[in-house]
Structure 1
Amino acid sequence: MPWVHYGFTTKFVPWLKQNAKGYDVVIVNGIWNFTALAARLSLTSSKVPYFVFTHGMLDPWFRRAYPVKTLLKQISWWCSEGPLLANAQGVLFTCEEERVLARNAFWPYNVKEFVVGYGTSDVKGNAEAQIAEFRERIPALTNKRFFLFLSRIHPKKGCDLLIQAFAKIAPLIPDIDLVMAGPDQSGWAPQLKKQAAALGIADRIHWPGMLEGNRKWGAFHGCEAFVLPSHQENFGIVVAEALACGKPVLITDKVNIWREIQQEGAGLVANDDLPGITSLLEAFIRLSDAERNKIQVSARDAFLKHFDIEQNVTRLLDVLRQTSAPEMAPRPPEN
């Protein structure tokens, strides 16, 4: 329960009741925690406008993956999250797919919906230097081209399917390897490496672990395409980072920003199964140089249009001003 596992404190509710009125608007960042319960107890009966940012926590994938926990969450929904969202000035979503999926999560569902976007800061630094630093981390990669997976090594991410799909096309692309970068928090990597060995592609897959800073950006800049075969992904900040570097993204339709990727022509989208992920790789390697260059341009444009955090902050402020706090509107310039 929230007060056991999610930071219960006796001081927060009194503090919020006393201090919320000193703010133009309040944003509740996330649900299924004591902060959300405290907001329910403090804000729903106040005159202070508030919004709730769910950050993918209403995705029905969790209902299928954790049915027992979902029953407990339904009870919590009736008592806490449901009234919190129903009385909010608005519920904020990072993309259209998140908004659509949230409607099937819990009952009853009665909210005012706003898609305000999400994203990351634009990439900085010298790309060539970053690529060199990344390649120093993986000497066995030498100067070979590569597909990049960069995320947690976790069953939800579809890593096993990506390895199987790569094994199917590896004979067709002897000059392209696969880099599987990310922390192995679930201890799954040894099993995946055995899988790669059994498929005869162990020497074509590289496991640098978690990449940060210049090495991470070097991986993005240096890859042929970024691949994220997730079974569930509310947003996928790594997808936005790849787009910032002008790289095509090959993702499943369970990565919630797939609509924007498809709409802008910034990559390829398929189902989160072996035929789907294999089709992503096969379709990409069949592209002509001109087609790949076009996708790279579209990828960069998609980042600037949808996922540049500075643009999305502006969208968020516009929603706050227009729906609840006109006094937040920018002051006219002084003479």
Structure 2
Amino acid sequence: MKILRIIPSMNPKQGGPCQGIRNAIPKMAEMGIVNEVVSFDNPQADFIKDDSFQIHALGESKTPWKYNDKLVPWLENNLSSYDFIIIHALWLYHSQASVNTIIEFRRKHHKGPKVFVMPHGMLDPYFQRAKERRIKALRNRLYWKFFENDVVNKADGVLFTCEEELLLARTTFPNYKPHSEINVGYGIQEPPKYSEEMKIEFKSKVPKWNGKPFLLFLSRIHPKKGIDLLINAYCQLEKKHSHLPQLIIAGPNESKYANDMMKLAQPSDNIIFAGMLGGLAKWGAFYESEVFILPSHQENFGIAVVESLACAIPVLISDKVNIWREIQKGKGGIVSNDNYKETYEMIDQWLNLSLKEKKEMKKNAYQVFSDHFTITRAAQNFINQIENA
């Protein structure tokens, strides 16, 4: 079996979808399944050369819509080599161009690969309801009416990372009539075992760390992540707890919003912005932390949440993280609503747990990962589902 994945970028800074691809492909290779990727990246980019699988980098797009005139000719010349096509993400040129090209290819040749769309949470109603997204929501409604509903409805199916994402997608737009809705699940590779080098590398990247267990936020620094709730709650908790662990916020910090969050955190000397962490430093951040926090307003899956669980680190998350039910049921963390009051109470609840209770939650965290989110389980389910669609 040969699968082609089409995505605007494989740059790790773009977040979850490209990391999900990187997690799945090595496991599928062990199963004898070949995966290749088409992206609109510079073929000389360092991150292109680091992967063990083939990435057909067609060059960077120069518009916000990510138009790339090389995509359609490339697909026309290569579609016959693949059994399945997975289009990752929506709202950009690649989704519309890919579906239309594949449908036309099948019409001409009376055969061709099946095509699936994987929205990665981009059909979540949050994006249409958030007050700060009113203009983008209007744009999406128009784009859906004239273009994107065709992408979703013409594909052979829509792939979801969890049941919650599937159910939410039904509530967002009119004329949502996919041929099939498939919960393929999602997973990550088992993290590397802890080593002293991880701690050393983490310390070198975050020299202000005091060497003690800390509260960790590791994700994109973006308004939907609820970082303002976390910072405000932490600053208030400092008034109540005399020995509050440091809060380390790890993620790309070059944006205006990141600068706004740094200003918000200025009243506290214990909030550290670490920048983006990768490799040993990232795993050092997980293993050296005492708990992971993500009070997000919308989170399709949350790869970093699952990475934390896999390191036996409990998670404090909002119920807008779509895998919250599995975590709550398995007692691998604490779940709250995505507002200031409940974020404060959630962190305070964690701080007031006994050492025995925290140790038990650490065991539960790893069990939730093992029961639901291993890449072995996810890869096998993915293949079974698309083969039978």
Compute the displacement of 1:69 (Å).
2.7
Preserved contact between residue 216 and residue 293 of structure 2 (Cα < 8 Å): yes
Preserved contact between residue 13 and residue 41 of structure 1 (Cα < 8 Å): no
What is the SS of the residue equivalent to 1:92? Answer: strand
Give the TM-score, by structure 1 length. Answer: 0.86
Q: Name 2:10's counterpart in structure 1.
A: none
The one of 281, 292, 316 equivalent to 1:226 is 292
Q: Name 1:332's counterpart in structure 2.
A: none
Q: Name 2:5's counterpart in structure 1.
A: none
What is the SS of the residue equivalent to 2:256? Answer: coil
Preserved contact between residue 40 and residue 80 of structure 1 (Cα < 8 Å): no
Q: Name 2:20's counterpart in structure 1.
A: none
Matches of 1:167 and 1:12, distance apart in 2: 49
Name the Cα RMSD after superposition.
2.4
Amino acid at match of 1:24: D
Amino acid at match of 2:89: G
Compute the displacement of 1:128 (Å).
3.4
What is the SS of the residue equivalent to 2:120? Answer: coil
Alignment deviations for residues 65-89 of structure 1 (CA, whole Å, 9 cap, x no partner): 4233333333332333212222322
Preserved contact between residue 184 and residue 378 of structure 2 (Cα < 8 Å): yes
Matches of 1:297 and 1:30, distance apart in 2: 34
The one of 260, 265, 279 equivalent to 1:196 is 265
Work out whether 1:292 is the aligned partner of 2:358: yes
Higher relative contact order (CA 8 A, sep 6+): 1
Compute the displacement of 1:124 (Å).
1.0
Identity across matched positions, percent: 41
Alignment deviations for residues 152-211 of structure 1 (CA, whole Å, 9 cap, x no partner): 23322222211121123223251522112222132344443443344xxx2222222222
Preserved contact between residue 202 and residue 280 of structure 2 (Cα < 8 Å): yes
Matches of 2:273 and 2:90, distance apart in 1: 34
The one of 151, 156, 159 equivalent to 2:227 is 159
Q: Name 2:279's counterpart in structure 1.
A: 213
Compute the displacement of 1:310 (Å).
3.1
| Mapping of residues 171-320 of structure 1, within 5 Å | 171-198=240-267, 202-320=268-386
Matches of 1:75 and 1:309, distance apart in 2: 37
In structure 2, the CA distance between the partners of 1:185 and 1:100, relative to structure 1 (3 Å rule), is farther
Work out whether 1:57 is the aligned partner of 2:122: yes
The one of 176, 187, 196 equivalent to 1:119 is 187
Q: Which runs of 5+ in 1 are unaligned?
A: 324-335
Preserved contact between residue 99 and residue 155 of structure 2 (Cα < 8 Å): no
In structure 2, the CA distance between the partners of 1:235 and 1:126, relative to structure 1 (3 Å rule), is same
Mean Cα deviation higher: 292-301 or 217-226: 292-301
In structure 2, the CA distance between the partners of 1:17 and 1:210, relative to structure 1 (3 Å rule), is closer
Matches of 1:17 and 1:254, distance apart in 2: 40
In structure 2, the CA distance between the partners of 1:286 and 1:20, relative to structure 1 (3 Å rule), is same
Compute the displacement of 1:311 (Å).
2.3
Preserved contact between residue 154 and residue 184 of structure 1 (Cα < 8 Å): no
Preserved contact between residue 99 and residue 115 of structure 2 (Cα < 8 Å): no
Work out whether 1:105 is the aligned partner of 2:150: no
Matches of 1:252 and 1:172, distance apart in 2: 22
Q: Name 1:40's counterpart in structure 2.
A: 99
Matches of 2:340 and 2:153, distance apart in 1: 40
Mean Cα deviation higher: 112-121 or 10-19: 10-19
Preserved contact between residue 249 and residue 266 of structure 1 (Cα < 8 Å): yes
In structure 2, the CA distance between the partners of 1:216 and 1:110, relative to structure 1 (3 Å rule), is same
Matches of 2:262 and 2:95, distance apart in 1: 41
Alignment deviations for residues 1-59 of structure 1 (CA, whole Å, 9 cap, x no partner): x9953343455435535643443222222221222112332234635422111111111
Matches of 1:204 and 1:14, distance apart in 2: 53
What is the SS of the residue equivalent to 1:299? Answer: helix
Q: Which runs of 5+ in 2 are unaligned?
A: 1-60
Compute the displacement of 1:110 (Å).
1.2
Work out whether 1:133 is the aligned partner of 2:192: no
What is the SS of the residue equivalent to 1:184? Answer: coil
Mean Cα deviation higher: 151-160 or 65-74: 65-74
Alignment deviations for residues 87-138 of structure 1 (CA, whole Å, 9 cap, x no partner): 3222101112211221122111112211112232221143333123323444
- Look at both structures and tell me which one has the larger radius of gyration over its CA atoms: 1
Mean Cα deviation higher: 36-45 or 216-225: 36-45
Matches of 2:260 and 2:100, distance apart in 1: 46
In structure 2, the CA distance between the partners of 1:173 and 1:319, relative to structure 1 (3 Å rule), is farther
Matches of 2:340 and 2:330, distance apart in 1: 25
The one of 92, 102, 117 equivalent to 2:159 is 92
What is the SS of the residue equivalent to 2:214? Answer: strand
